[in-house]
């Protein structure tokens, strides 16, 4: 079974900006806490992902490439609003970080994620990382669709 092992942090400052971002638009066909089904357009690629329940920093994940035209149609079927963000790939100390600048009602939120090979893998944190939010459900992309960052205050 494929697994995603991921840690998520808030981002502070702007020293992380190194690459041109890729625009992402994604939506959820299912946002059940035990399983989510995500459709994503990322630049000129499209994927369908099924993710299981989070268990700490680990969860099952099945992700498949799909035709862009199919993703456009599936996004119209998604529950709730779509999520849009600019994603930057940032390399630090041998790891690739994905830094997401959220748009729309989530504008102002910047989150960095790193995928690991094991839950106990050690790594050095870049200076621009803030608070870890891995286990805070408010920062799950599926939750940001229906409970956007602008309404937290």
Give the residue numbers marked as catalytic: 28
- CA 145 to chain centroid, in Å, comes to 12
Up-side HSE of residue 55: CA atoms within 13 Å toward CB?
9
Report the C-alpha gap between 15 and 128 in whole angstroms. 7
Q: Helix (H, G, I), strand (E, B), or coil: what is residue 150?
A: helix
List residues bridging with 86 in a β-sheet: 23, 101
DSSP letters for 66-118: --HHHHHHHHTT-EEEEEEEEEEEEEETTEEEEEEEE-GGGTT-EEEEEE-SS
């Amino acid at each position: 079974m494929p697994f995603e092992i991921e840690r998520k942090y808030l981002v502070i400052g702007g020293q992380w900006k190194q690459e041109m971002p890729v625009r992402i638009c994604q939506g959820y066909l299912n946002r059940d806490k035990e399983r989510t089904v995500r459709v994503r357009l990322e630049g000129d690629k499209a994927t369908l992902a099924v993710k299981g329940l989070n268990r700490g920093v680990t969860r099952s994940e099945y992700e498949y490439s799909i035709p862009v035209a199919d993703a456009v149609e599936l996004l119209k079927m998604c529950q709730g609003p779509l999520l849009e963000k600019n994603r930057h790939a940032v390399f630090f100390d041998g790891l690739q970080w994905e830094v997401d600048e959220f748009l729309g009602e989530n504008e102002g939120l910047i989150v960095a994620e790193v995928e690991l090979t094991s839950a106990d893998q050690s790594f050095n944190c870049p200076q621009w990382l803030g608070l870890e939010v891995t286990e805070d459900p408010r920062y799950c992309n599926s939750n940001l669709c229906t409970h956007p960052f602008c309404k937290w205050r």
